[in-house]
Every structure is written in C-alpha cells, then in structure tokens.
C-alpha cells in the first residue's frame, strides 16, 4: 500500500455526574448526560421548586444523537409517537414535533455536544417527563422532574 495512515486518538470527554449541581434561592443548576452505549440518561428524577428559574446543561458524550424534551404530565408517549410519525422529515426538524405538549427542548445533539437550556419550572406541581425523541430512544431514555 502506498502512503501511510496515522491513527489519531480522540481526547476523552470528561463526564461530570448529572443531578443538581448548584441550588441557590434564585436558580437551580442541573446537569443531565446521556450514558455512552446505554440509551439512557444518567438522571432518572430531579425535584424542582414550582416557578423557580432552572439552568439545565444537557451533555451527549454518546456516539448516537440525542436530545432532551420536557413535556406536560402524561404526554411523553404521545409526543414520542408524534416524533416517529415525522418520518424522514424528522431529521430536518430534529424530531421535535409541533405540539403544545412540549414545554422545553434541546436540539438533537451529536457526539460530544452540549446545550444549556434556561427556563422556569412549571408553577403547577406534578411529574413532568423528559424524553429523547429520536425514534425508538424514548422507551428507555426518559426521566421526570418532580415539581413541588
């Protein structure tokens, strides 16, 4: 074979454990990561104070694309089905269906991408699910915010 190939080793991404990172009277800082090769988030549930300002850092160290979509209580399966129904068009729209059931969402993050979402926690107490809407991921990539 002509020429030489050089194998470049990728730098490892430093993963900081998910959960509440910092909580002040004015702001709750949260981090949620996708887990490499496991189709899940590293956080299953987080308690939030109703109406409080939240800063959520979503990190995707996985090779597969993932997002995080926060939805109204009881609507996770409906939103996931709507994302699947987008078909091939979903790639252009990052599998975010048009629906009022979505409260907040990230972009579809590729490997080693991070996005920060800033929002106010809902004022109505309840369990607010978060899911990945990439087709098929929602069955295992889910958790919830317990708003009190």
Distance in angstroms between the alpha carbons of the first and the last residue of the chain: 65
Q: Within its chain, how far is the Cα of 17 from the centroid?
A: 14
Note the pLDDT tens digit of each residue in 65-110.
Answer: 999 999 999 999 999 999 999 999 999 999 999 999 999 999 999 9
pLDDT band at 13 (very low <50, low <70, confident <90, very high): confident
The token pair that represents 108 in the structure block? 């579809």
The answer to whether the pTM exceeds 0.75 is yes
Residue 5 has a pLDDT of 57
């Amino acid at each position: 074979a002509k020429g030489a190939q050089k194998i470049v080793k990728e730098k490892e991404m430093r993963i900081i454990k998910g959960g509440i990172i910092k909580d002040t009277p004015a702001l709750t800082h949260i981090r949620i990561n996708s887990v490499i090769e496991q189709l899940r988030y590293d956080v299953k549930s987080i308690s939030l104070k109703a109406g409080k300002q939240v800063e959520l850092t979503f990190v995707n160290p996985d090779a597969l694309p993932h997002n995080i979509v926060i939805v109204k209580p009881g609507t996770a399966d409906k939103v996931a089905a709507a994302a699947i129904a987008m078909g091939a068009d979903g790639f252009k729209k990052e599998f975010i269906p048009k629906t009022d059931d979505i409260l907040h969402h990230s972009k579809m993050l590729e490997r080693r991408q991070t996005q920060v979402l800033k929002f106010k926690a809902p004022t109505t107490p309840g369990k607010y699910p978060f899911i990945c809407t990439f087709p098929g991921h929602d069955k295992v990539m889910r958790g919830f915010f317990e708003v009190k």
